[in-house]
Amino acid sequence: MLLAACSSSREPELADILTVPESYIMRVSQKCFCRSELQGPFDIQVVEGKAVSVKHVKFDQVFSLQLVGDEIPTLNSILASIERARVQGAYQKDITWLKKPFVPKHVYIDFYKHVKDEEIDITIEHFESL
C-alpha cells in the first residue's frame, strides 16, 4: 500500500487498526527536541512488528538499531502515542489518516498545555506493506 492513497481526518475504528500490516517500509520525518540527525527523513523497514533497518535519507546513512533505540518512530509507537493522547485527553491533537490501511499520515499531539518540548509531530511520507 502506497501513501498516495486518499486521506481522512476520521478516527479509525478498531477493525481498521487491526488491519494494519506487521511488515512494511515507511519514510518518516519527525520534528522533535532531539538531535537533528534523529529528525529524518528515515526509511524504516519493519518485519513482524520489529524495526530491522533504519536509513537516514538525507545523509544516506544506515543507523544502528541499538544506537537509535526508541527514538525512531515505528507505526506501533505512533499508534501507541495516539492511543495515549486519546486516553489522557491531550491538550491538542491533530491527526490525518490514510483510508486503506488506516495509517496516520500526519500526527501532531501536544499532551500538556503548559509543558514545553513534549509534543509529537510526525509525518509519514511513504508507506508500503511488505
What does the pLDDT look like over 16-34, one tens digit per residue?
555 678 899 999 998 877 7
Task: Quote the pLDDT of residue 43.
Answer: 94
Domains of the chain: which residue ranges?
7-129
Q: By C-alpha distance, which of 37, 78, 35 is closest to 56? A: 37
Task: Quote the pLDDT of residue 7.
Answer: 55
Residues 73-100 as b/e (b if ≥16 CB within 10 A, e otherwise) read bbbeebbebbeebeeeebeebebebbee
Other Cβ atoms less than 10 A from the Cβ of 112: the count is: 12
Task: Quote the pLDDT of residue 12.
Answer: 58
Amino acid at 49: G
Secondary structure class of 68 (helix, strand, coil): helix
The pLDDT tens digits of the residues spanning 34-66 come to: 777 778 898 999 998 888 888 989 888 887 776
pLDDT band with cut points at 50, 70 and 90 for residue 117:
confident
Angle among Cα 128, 7, 48 to the nearest 5 degrees reads: 30
Higher pLDDT, 11 or 28: 28
Report the mean per-residue pLDDT for the chain: 80
Higher pLDDT, 54 or 5: 54
